[in-house]
A = this chain, B = another copy of it.
Amino acid sequence: MIVVQSSSAVTPQPAEGIAHPARAELELAAVLHALSDPVRLRMVAALAGDDGEHTCKSFDVPVTKSTCTHHFKILREAGVIHQRQAGTSRLNALRREDLDARFPGLLTTILQAASAPHETA
């Protein structure tokens, strides 16, 4: 299962219909809303665990596939994650650089808060 990645500048592919907001267009309210759901918070925490890309399947959340897709859409449209197609899978990655540039420290602080005692649910 080797994914062939081009060595050239891949150009932030729109990937045929997967729309992502530009860095300058990230809205704080949207980001906070995206992170205000326990399921999504868990997803983001998992993504932040190792900065790699995760398939949708690799998340341990108590919802169905449909709901997962829905949550990923919210996260993507808020600019929290980036989605990239790779075969039958869709790889999800945290847009950490963009978020840090736009809202310095926000992501880190929220993830810390999320892993605080009594909040590990």
Beyond A29-B37, A32-B36, whether A113 also contacts B119 by CB under 8 A is: no
Chain B residues within 8 Å of A105, by CB: 105, 109, 112
- Chain A, interface SS category: helix
A27-65 contact mask (Cβ, 8 Å, vs B): 1 or 0: 111101101111001000000000000000000000000
| Interface bin, chain A | 20 to 34
Q: Which residue of B lies closest to A119 (CB)?
A: B28
Expressed in whole angstroms, the minimum distance between the Cβ of A113 and any Cβ of chain B is: 4
Binding site for B on A (CB under 8 A): 24, 27-30, 32-33, 35-38, 41, 102-106, 109-110, 112-114, 116, 118-119
